[in-house]
């Protein structure tokens, strides 16, 4: 992956996180209209964030499945008490790990930790890493490689 592609994916993850955070607080009545308005406010053209938009749709489509995984993996932690920004980071990373076989799980974990450093508090990275590490152990695939058979 080129540096430009890496940076575009990073921008996409940041945009997805920002959208999913806002979405978790106030779900829109019309997702398509809400996404249009959101991307109009972004610095780059909407096409630049195509990866992020894929992530947004994936997280929303699989929210129930992802949330049940979070509940199962967040030992001794009340789901309702998870900070909304941390929940958005977890949903994003878990969607990637569970449904984007073209992304090695360790990449999703590292990106989630970086997002937590940028957008959450200092303790969040340990909490997020713990949950994602437990999920990584349950995936049944090499955590350092993309699964090319699904591409």
CA torsion angle for 68, 32, 54, 124 (degrees, to 10)? -50
Torsion-angle region of 78 (φ positive above 0: left; ψ -120 to 50: alpha; else: beta): beta
pLDDT tens digits, 8-46 = 999 999 999 999 999 999 999 999 999 999 999 999 999
**Fold of the domain spanning 3-150:** N-utilizing Substance Protein B Homolog; Chain A (1.10.940)
Give the whole-angstrom CA distance, residue 67 versus residue 79: 9
pLDDT tens digits, 60-87 = 999 999 999 999 999 888 899 999 999 9
Q: Where are the domains of the chain?
A: 3-150
């Amino acid at each position: 992956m080129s540096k430009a592609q890496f940076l575009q994916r990073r921008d996409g993850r940041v945009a997805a996180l920002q959208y999913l955070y806002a979405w978790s607080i106030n779900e829109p009545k019309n997702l398509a209209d809400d996404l249009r308005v959101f991307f109009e406010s972004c610095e780059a053209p909407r096409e630049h964030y195509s990866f992020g938009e894929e992530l947004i749709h994936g997280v929303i489509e699989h929210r129930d499945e992802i949330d049940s995984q979070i509940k199962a993996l967040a030992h001794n932690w009340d789901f309702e008490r998870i900070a909304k920004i941390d929940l958005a980071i977890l949903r994003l990373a878990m969607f990637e790990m569970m449904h984007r076989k073209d992304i090695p799980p360790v990449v999703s974990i590292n990106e989630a930790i970086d997002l937590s450093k940028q957008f959450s508090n200092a303790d969040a990275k340990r909490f997020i890493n713990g949950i994602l590490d437990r999920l990584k152990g349950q995936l049944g695939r090499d955590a350092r490689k993309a699964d090319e058979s699904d591409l």
